[in-house]
Amino acid sequence: MSTNINLQLHRTHRGVAPVIATLLLVAIAVVGGGIVFAYSQSFFSSSQISGKPTIEALKILGYDARATDIIQNQNGVNFGAASGGDADTLKELGEKVAVYIKNDSVQSITLNELRLGGSIYTFANPAPATLSVVPTGQYTLAGAAGGTGTELITANSAAVIQPGQTTSVVVSLSEDMKTGRDTQFKLTTTNGAVFVGTVVIGQQSG
């Protein structure tokens, strides 16, 4: 009789152990899943709050690449004296080309690189007093609200275009350019977005 009782007790304990183990595993899984869910919710919430849109939209509206001593801004208003260069019929080294652009993004855009006809131009910093003295191989922004002087030249240390802003990119040519030639104008932002247009030397558009 004693032997039968011991066997029954032993079998009972062996049957209960797997049930307890299963319940423990389920409890651990539930707690672990809750922790992961809470962490992921916190992460995505903070990411959405702190994240900024990176879609950049910049439109090239036109240009003034005429061989003239005074070029115009994006609103058709004349820049200052000698803003375009001299009065002959050639577009030469050191003369200016204005390209009109608009930032259609919801955030500001900073230009990182500018190319005209394959040549790389750097942003003029410090800002030139007038467009006539923009150094050869450099460019500036002008003609927009917030700029300084009668030509509204930007005083920023970088080429920043505000959301919705229309401005003129004024380039001081690093080489002589042939009148009538189609020339590629290419802008690259600090976020890597690229915008390309065509400028016909000697003409005005937009």
Q: What is the per-residue pLDDT across 25-83, written as a single tens digit (0 to 9) for each?
A: 776 776 666 665 555 555 443 333 444 557 999 999 999 999 999 999 999 999 999 99
Residue range 119-142: mean pLDDT, rounded:
98
Question: How much of the chain exceeds pLDDT 70, in percent?
Answer: 78
Task: Pick the range with the lowest mean pLDDT from 25-39, 89-103, 171-185, 187-201.
Answer: 25-39
How far is it, in rounded angstroms, from Cα 117 to Cα 204? 17
Average model confidence (pLDDT) across the chain: 86
What is the pTM for the complete model shown? 0.75
Q: Which residues contact 200 (CB under 8 A, 6 or more apart)?
A: 65, 180, 181, 182, 183
- DSSP 3-state percent helix, strand, coil across the chain (nearest 5): 25, 30, 45
For 53, left (φ over 0), alpha (ψ -120 to 50), or beta?
A: beta
pLDDT tier at 114 (50, 70, 90 boundaries)?
very high
Measured from the Cβ of residue 38, the count of other Cβ atoms closer than 10 Å reads 10
What token pair was written down for 14? 């062996």
Question: How much of the chain exceeds pLDDT 90, in percent?
Answer: 72
The pLDDT value given to residue 50: 42
How far is it, in rounded angstroms, from Cα 49 to Cα 70? 48
Q: Reply yes or no on whether the pLDDT at 7 is more than 50.
A: no
